[in-house]
Amino acid sequence: MMLVLMLIFILQSIAFITLYERHLLGSSQIRLGPTKVSLMGFLQALLDGLKLLSKEQLMPLFTSDLVFLLVPGISFLVMFLEWFVLYYFFDFFSFEFSLLFFFCLLGFSVYSIMVSGYVSKSKYGMVGALRASSQSVSYEIAFSLLLLSVMMMVGVFSFFKMGYLLMFFFLLPFLVMILAELNRAPFDFAEGESELVSGYNVEFGSVSFVLLFLSEYGSMIFFCVFMSMLFFDFSMFMVFLIFSFFIFVRSSYPRFRYDFLMGMFWFKFLPVSLVY
C-alpha cells in the first residue's frame, strides 16, 4: 500500500512540476505559460498526459519489440528505486548501505538511455545514446568521488546522518554535475533537439515516451530533494529553489559545446573531486 501511495505522489508531483516549469519558462520570455485550461492551466499537465497516452506507438523495423517496449519501463523503475535511499521519507525501506545502492542505480541508469538509442534503429537515437554514455563516464567518476569523500568524513554508507553537514564547498560542483546527470540544459546532448531531433527517444511515443518522460522528471525531483537533504538538512523551500534554479539555467544558457563538456569534467571537476 505504501509503495502505491508513493508512486501516486511521485506522479502527481511530476504533473504539477512540469506545469510550473512551463509557467516559469513562459514568464522568462514575458509570456505566461498555459492559462486556458481550468484555473490558470491547472489541468493542463493532466490533459497533456492523457492525450499522449492516446497516441499510437509505431514500432521500428528490424528491432526487438519486447526490448523496445521494455527499456522505458526499466528506466522508470530505476527512477522509482532511487527514492528508497532517502531515509527521511521512507524509513520503512531504509538500509545501511543505501549510498552504495545509489551508486549502483546511478551507474545503471545510463544503460537505459544507451539501449533505447540502439533499439530505435535510428541514427539520431544512436548518436544520442553514444553522447549519453560518454557523458556519463566523464561526470560520474567525479560525482562518485565527491560522495565518497562525504562517506569518509561521516563514516557511514547511508544517507541517515548527512543532513547536518552543510558542506557548501561541495554545492557548486554538485549543481553542475547533477545538471549533467539529468541531461538538462546546457548539457542536454543526449536529446539535442537542434541537431538530433530529440536524440535517444526520437522513435518512442505513447506509453513508452511517457515512461521516459516520467523517469527524467522523477529523477530531477529526486535530486532536488537529495541536494536539499544533503546541504540544507531538508527544506521544502530549498527543494523548490533548486528546481527553479534548474529551470532558470534552461531558460538562460545555450547548449554547451560537447568537447568543452568533456574537457571541463576531465580536467577541472575530476582534479577538484580528487582534492576533496
Q: What is the mean pLDDT of the chain?
A: 81
Q: How confident is the model at residue 222 (pLDDT cuts 50, 70, 90)?
A: very high
Unique residue bearing C-alpha cell 516520467: 214
pLDDT one-digit tens code per residue, 125-159: 888 888 887 887 788 888 888 888 777 776 666 66
Q: Which three cell numbers stand for residue 226?
A: 537529495
- Give the max Cα distance, the chain: 53
Binned at pLDDT 50, 70 and 90, residue 50 comes out as confident
For the segment 179-200, the average pLDDT, to the nearest whole number, is 79
Q: Per-residue DSSP letters for 185-228?
A: TTS-TTT-HHHHTTGGGTT--HHHHHHHHHHHHHHHHHHHHHHH
* Rounded CA separation 16/42 (Å): 8
Q: List pLDDT tens digits, range 84-107.
A: 887 655 555 556 677 888 888 888
Tally the C-alpha atoms within 13 A of residue 268's C-alpha that lie toward its C-beta: 10
Domain ranges of the chain: 1-54, 65-275
Asked, as a colleague might, if the bond just before 186 is cis with ω within 30 of 0, I would say: yes
pLDDT band of residue 166 (cuts 50, 70, 90) is very low
